[in-house]
Structure 1
């Protein structure tokens, strides 16, 4: 998951509106029509919600709450949509793939550098 350390924009908790014009009445009507006609099958595959805390990569003193909505592709592969809160105004802040060590070890060394561990000490 990548995140921006730049100030401004969306704040943790989904309280701020992103930059841009207000949604028009025409667009709201189109959105309602789409909601009635479309199944959103991929989105409905998310069956787990995991709340975690993450540190900013470039400032380890900054911690944010993250909400992972998880779908399991198989025993070794999870896909997560990551949001800054669990409320109805949450902002999508990342997409994360979680793989087992078995899969991780099959990745080229250059790609392994792009991943981070979810292992922990007991």
Structure 2
């Protein structure tokens, strides 16, 4: 994605026909999974390849149960924000039950969980 002040992704602008299809979809579709997102946390994340650089991340969170959160992660909380990732946050109990090889693929979310529990 371009990162030189131009936050628009590559591609042609939407046509009037596509705008009409999108409006019709808004009327006809329920988007029930998205409506389950009831929590929000704004955090900063470090780039794994450059630990001196960070990015502001916006987590829109669905609490699946007491031990499991799923997050749609965006680069902004504005209407034009781009989806940059999906994260799962699990409790310490679930994390400790993971095999050591899988634990290496996870990173701590202590601060985000604390923020999310406030909302």
TM-score in terms of structure 1 length: 0.84
Instruction: Give the 3 Å change call, closer, same or farther, for CA 94–117 of structure 1 in structure 2.
Output: same
1:30 partnered with 2:21: yes
Range 108-117 or range 63-72, more displaced:
108-117
1:64 offset after TM fit, Å? 0.9
1:45 partnered with 2:41: no
Matches within 5 A, 1:104-115: 104-115=95-106
Instruction: Give the 3 Å change call, closer, same or farther, for CA 111–103 of structure 1 in structure 2.
Output: same
Name the Cα RMSD after superposition: 1.8
TM-score in terms of structure 2 length: 0.86
Structure 1 unmatched ranges of 5 or more: 1-8
Structure 2 unmatched ranges of 5 or more: 112-119
1:54 corresponds to: 45
Q: Which string of whole-angstrom CA distances, capped at 9 and with x for unpartnered residues, describes residues 85-107 of structure 1?
A: 11110000000000011001111
Runs of 4 or more above 3 Å deviation: 10-13
1:89 partnered with 2:74: no
